[in-house]
Structure 1
Amino acid sequence: MSTVDKQLEEVRETIDEEVPRQITVTDVTYEGPELVIYTRDPREFATDGDLVRRLASKLRKRITVRPDPDVLTHPDEAESEIRELVPDDAAVSDIQFLADTGEVVIRAKKPGQVIGRRGETLREITKTTGWTPEVERTPAIDSPTVKNVRTFLTQERDDRRDILERVGRQIHRDPMSSEEWVRVTTLGGCKEVGRAAYIISTADTRILVDCGDKPGERTEQPYLDIPEAIGSGATSLDAVVLTHAHLDHAALVPLLYENGYDGPIYCTEPTRDLLGLMTLGYIDSAAMTGQQRPYGTEMVREAVKHCIPLEYGDVTDIAPDVKLTLHNAGHVLGSSVVHFHIGDGLYNVAFSGDIDYDSSRLLDGAVNEFPRVETLVLESTYGGRNDYQTDQDDSERKLRERLQDVAETDGTLLIPTDAVGRPQELLVVLEELMDSGTVPEMPVYLDEMIWEATAVHTSYPEFLRNDIESRLQSDDENPFLAAQFTPVGDDEERRELAQRDEASVVLSTPGMCTPGPVRTWLSALSDDPDNTLVFVDKQARGTLGKQIQGGADSITIDGETVPIEMRVETIDGFSGHADRQGLENFVKTMHPRPEKVLCVDGDQSATQDLSSSLYHDYNLRTFTPENLETFRFI
């Protein structure tokens, strides 16, 4: 009998001792980080609302209870009973029964009404029907991405259960070594913007944090072929942890599965969905520009299938000697600061990912309070000594002025931006300015990926600020449903819209003007001085955006020379990144303050400036790693 089987046998004995005699437990197994209890008496479990909590406390594990299929009410009868139990105000849009797990997925516009006070309605559903309810929000904007991900995971539930059971056994195996050490190896993202990828290793475990591309340099991938990564075989990785879905952190995650990785990806639920959206767009962009696709669509599906979503604040075992907790990073929907607790109090490492320390229109600021942190791996995108961004009010004032300019000249305001984060922030501001009459109403054209990413936001309002969450739940107040917002699907439509003699706004991807729809808009708009180009994202070296921002008179797009006669400006307060002061404040107020800081994900001057400042001002040991450096902490 294996060690894990012995553990499960002991767990089963404890459960049998704790549950009332009238409850029959038929199986106990690990599925990912959770302990799953199968029972013939789900109604009895539901009757005692504290039973699962007591078991979780006793066993110190996350527990899910599932019914045996043969004790379930027939789906037709169960659906009628569920609809009677759930208030009409919940606006249930779909009910789906998963017989193999005994779960019923209830999709509703107002999930809280389905859940009930302290989960009372959910327990009543189980007591009445035997099914275990899972509640999902019906998006205010129909999202093919969310729908496709959920449908795909339902179709692949057998494979997914096999994956989860295998991962669960891997997590709960006995440690293989008595040695104690912690190392971080940099595979990318050092003294450069993009291709973020880091390995955190112990004597037992190897975990990859992020796996992104370098904007404008698709050939410069993270150093995945070294022994610490997948050079000794992709199966040597125990897990991947994804901070967020932007391509400079996530573009090459599916490539891992192309190279034989078959393990879990830990991230938030919106990051999982956005990973699918962004990586499919990434390989489509490569195909359209004649470049070789780094992986196929099947690998994107594999990545999504292997995702294990976690909630902010949940402490989760992901290896025998590693616990993971995700915290809000304030950068984009679902973005995370990832915290690793290693060993039995041995060491703690936090990776900031990309952070915004101050609250924005959409998101609360990044969390920087942890039980313990000895080392912080900190982004430095705006870490240079002069990298001070304008505040929110000033940024919105500048945007308002540019909108008034194009309104007077019947010009177009073109804003290159990534699909996730900045455009949704801008849409909230644009809706408010036009709705209040501060600027004239004008059409706002959104490239299709931006519209789809916005739809994903409406599926997860609980990840947004409370005021925005409330607005998204009301059709009358939802800022993303403004009549001025129009999605645009193809280049022919873009060229046609660009010729219209009317004031308008265009939000187009990608933010650094690397190959994508924005280049079509640039070709059509750049020779007219009545038009304005506004950068809101960091422009990395070597990108077309950086060239334009630097004052180029002309650019080359698809072999043609395009004059730049439109006005070019930068409004940096919408970046979604903490500026120099924000990064310092994040560290200054961090509790507890780390002993060491590795400054990464910024160009050489930014990382060095930030490292020097943190060393001199806060007496911290700071480092500016090179790619392929390894740091040992224990």
Structure 2
Amino acid sequence: MLKGGPSEIKKKVKEVLSRIGEVKKVELEGPFVVVYVDDPSSFLESNNTVGEAAKLLRKKIIVMSSGKMLPEEDAKRVIREMIPQKAEITDIRAVEETREIYIIAKRTGYVVGKSGYYINEILKKTGWRPVVLRAPTMESGLLNTIYNYLIEGSAERKKIMRKIAERIYREPIGIERGIFVSFLGGAREVGRSSIAVTTNEGSVLLDAGISLGRGEAFPRYDLIDLDEIDAVIISHAHLDHSGALPFLFKYGYRGPVYVTRPTRDLIVLLLLDYINLSRRQGIIPYFSEADVARMLNHMIVLDYEETVDISPDVKLTFYNAGHILGSALVHLNIRKHNILYTGDFRFRETKLLGKADTSFPRVETLIMECTYGGEQDVLPPLWEAEKQLIQIIKDTIERNGRVLIPALSVGRAQEIMITLVEAFSRKEIPDVPVYIDGMVYDSTAIHSAYPSYLSDYIKARVFGEDKDPFTDEHFTMLKGTEDKDSIATGGPSIIIAPSGMLNGGPSVDYFIRMSPDPRNSVVLVSYQAEGTLGRELKEGAREIRIRDEMGEMRKIEVKAEIHFVEGFSAHADKVQLLTYPSSIPKPSRIILVHGEAEKIRSFKPLLSRSIGAAVMAPSIGEKLRLV
């Protein structure tokens, strides 16, 4: 990275870019360089000279106009006249304090233009810097809320980013302390994932999750000093990896949170849903909507394979993890030591997502999840799982029953939806309604806003055929006001609802109504954590006690058929876990996390023999020295 503090770095950037044209001002905002110029044309028409400067400086450079801006309404008119109608612009909003104009469109490619042509033309002709947001193909109040947060908080976010930059680019202290990893959660357990990585110059957190089953809810943050944390890096949006973020901010953290764009939106969705669910159950949530909005202003979004400095001696790069939309493998380059943290990952392609990346410069330490590392954890092929699910649906409908599929709102529900679309098109199941309830609706809307993060299969349909499989005619998106009784006791149908572990949400409401009827089927397609109703059912329980919508405990006799279909898992199974370490630059050390103690105990020696590297399985609170 560039040597020296913020002032020296700004001076160097100005010196390099002044070869192109006059630079009025240079600002550091988070890990990015923002350059203000009177005449953007000279910079944007310089045969990619800005791109070459960015490579030389190893920084992403954002060019802003420091000259006069067109009045807002005139700028909007120019943009609408310039951008092809095929873009389907839904809204344009300007923020004068930041000199940014937000363009929300269904087809953002037409807004950007070839090689960013329209983006550059908007900046040159209006003086406003365009920020492009993709509108979902499905109307989503939640995404509107997120975009409102982003736009209304942009001025405050700019101030925050400048403070963050001062910390990133501070002068190194130059003391040799070594590289350590401390396991605050997710070690020999599934849930509350959080790992502190300490270097010579600072420290970062990998994930900040909560527990979704029994045990302690939050990671052991009493073991660290939040004031010393330079950055929080979230691998993906699931609450067992992101749910403790508001807790960190509640107790004083004010640094950056690095995420991909879909992860940012999905985190907001999951946290707002957590608030609503807590209040419905009569529980006071530990954070508010205002806390979520405040946290959003600290989020820095990165694309896959975009490398940034996050502290004086740490560079961060995200890679596709294949787990859920926007999920990322986290690669940390710490001087000459490289850590790859998988978060949750899947090493096979599905109709929804591609498989986890394997191309990295170097990997010395691999921190790998081990959810399905048990002796019997060899998942069937996806086609076999699809065949099993389709047969269960056919059998249930033939006896005039209904199928409940409790599914994780993010990822699993969309995998099931794509499978059903294909089955309907091949006439493998009858044309029955598919009800999509709860948070699945908004999660699916977010998926429709980020097709470029999805599989080649989805991209071919969205970009090639202009068809969005998530808006198939069989799907009925419920808004939460519908009568669940009529759906649960009506004609044959399929219901997809969260949560996937039956530990809350509308899936529990449907389960209470549907489980006494032997014609019905409940199909569990997600991992079932210890302490959840789904785990009880998987282990054979047929008489359970459950809390209903009114908060009262009820005893339920389960007469519906209970099925467990494993092949849809978004995690790597034992075979993938054994294969992945040998598919990347060979690590000298592998650390296993995010797995039940017994599974890690059986998998550890197997992996050690297979890969020939040191394999470790730390406990909560343990601290390991890497270098």
Residues 491 and 519 of structure 1: is their aligned pair in 2 closer, same or farther, counting only changes over 3 Å? farther
Task: Please tell me the residue identity of whatever aligns with 1:624.
Answer: A
For 2:550, the equivalent position in structure 1 comes to none
Task: Please tell me the residue identity of whatever aligns with 1:596.
Answer: R
For residue 167 of structure 1, report the CA deviation from its aligned partner.
Answer: 0.7
Match of 2:220 among 202, 218, 223: 223
For residue 513 of structure 1, report the CA deviation from its aligned partner.
Answer: 1.1
CA distance in 2, matches of 1:491, 1:152: 26
For 2:6, the equivalent position in structure 1 comes to 4
**1:67 to 2:65 alignment:** yes
For 1:552, the equivalent position in structure 2 comes to 541
Percent identity, aligned pairs only, is 34
For residue 587 of structure 1, report the CA deviation from its aligned partner.
Answer: 1.3
CA distance in 1, matches of 2:465, 2:493: 24
Residues 421 and 448 of structure 1: is their aligned pair in 2 closer, same or farther, counting only changes over 3 Å? same
For 1:287, the equivalent position in structure 2 comes to 279
RMSD: 1.7
Confirm or deny: 8 A CA contact 1:339 1:351 kept in the other structure: yes
Deviation per CA, 1:501-558: give whole Å up to 9, x if none.
x111111111111122221111101011111111111111121111111111211112
Task: Please tell me the residue identity of whatever aligns with 1:553.
Answer: R
**1:542 to 2:528 alignment:** no
The correspondence of residues 364-403 of structure 1 with structure 2, limited to 5 A, is 364-403=354-393
Q: Which stretch shows the higher mean deviation, 306-315 or 85-94?
A: 85-94
Task: Please tell me the residue identity of whatever aligns with 2:20.
Answer: V
For residue 180 of structure 1, report the CA deviation from its aligned partner.
Answer: 4.7
Match of 2:249 among 248, 253, 257: 257
Task: Please tell me the residue identity of whatever aligns with 2:339.
Answer: V
**1:77 to 2:74 alignment:** yes
For 2:597, the equivalent position in structure 1 comes to 604
For 1:213, the equivalent position in structure 2 comes to 210
For 1:619, the equivalent position in structure 2 comes to 612
For 2:506, the equivalent position in structure 1 comes to 517
**1:29 to 2:18 alignment:** no
For residue 225 of structure 1, report the CA deviation from its aligned partner.
Answer: 1.2
For residue 142 of structure 1, report the CA deviation from its aligned partner.
Answer: 1.8
The correspondence of residues 456-495 of structure 1 with structure 2, limited to 5 A, is 456-473=446-463, 477-490=467-480, 493-495=483-485
For residue 630 of structure 1, report the CA deviation from its aligned partner.
Answer: 0.7
Confirm or deny: 8 A CA contact 2:448 2:468 kept in the other structure: no
Q: Which stretch shows the higher mean deviation, 149-158 or 486-495?
A: 486-495
Task: Please tell me the residue identity of whatever aligns with 1:132.
Answer: R
Q: TM-score, normalised by structure 1?
A: 0.94
CA distance in 1, matches of 2:39, 2:597: 61
CA distance in 1, matches of 2:460, 2:43: 33
CA distance in 2, matches of 1:473, 1:585: 33
For residue 306 of structure 1, report the CA deviation from its aligned partner.
Answer: 0.9
For 1:562, the equivalent position in structure 2 comes to 556
**1:19 to 2:20 alignment:** yes
Confirm or deny: 8 A CA contact 1:255 1:299 kept in the other structure: no
CA distance in 2, matches of 1:618, 1:3: 43
Q: Which stretch shows the higher mean deviation, 170-179 or 184-193?
A: 170-179
CA distance in 1, matches of 2:542, 2:12: 73
Confirm or deny: 8 A CA contact 1:318 1:324 kept in the other structure: yes
Confirm or deny: 8 A CA contact 1:145 1:273 kept in the other structure: no
Task: Please tell me the residue identity of whatever aligns with 2:341.
Answer: F
CA distance in 1, matches of 2:513, 2:353: 34
For 1:595, the equivalent position in structure 2 comes to 588
Deviation per CA, 1:308-331: give whole Å up to 9, x if none.
000000011111100000000000
Q: Which stretch shows the higher mean deviation, 259-268 or 123-132?
A: 123-132
Confirm or deny: 8 A CA contact 1:204 1:321 kept in the other structure: yes
CA distance in 2, matches of 1:123, 1:276: 31
Task: Please tell me the residue identity of whatever aligns with 1:162.
Answer: K
5+ residue gaps, structure 2: 548-552
Q: Which stretch shows the higher mean deviation, 397-406 or 145-154?
A: 145-154
**1:336 to 2:328 alignment:** yes
Deviation per CA, 1:147-195: give whole Å up to 9, x if none.
2112112111121011100111111111123215111100111111111
For 1:101, the equivalent position in structure 2 comes to 98
Q: TM-score, normalised by structure 2?
A: 0.95
The correspondence of residues 283-432 of structure 1 with structure 2, limited to 5 A, is 283-343=275-335, 346-432=336-422
CA distance in 2, matches of 1:196, 1:604: 14
CA distance in 2, matches of 1:476, 1:131: 31
Deviation per CA, 1:572-591: give whole Å up to 9, x if none.
1111111110111111212x
CA distance in 2, matches of 1:185, 1:594: 19
**What secondary structure sits across from 2:24 in the alignment?**
strand
Match of 2:46 among 42, 45, 48: 48
For residue 235 of structure 1, report the CA deviation from its aligned partner.
Answer: 2.0
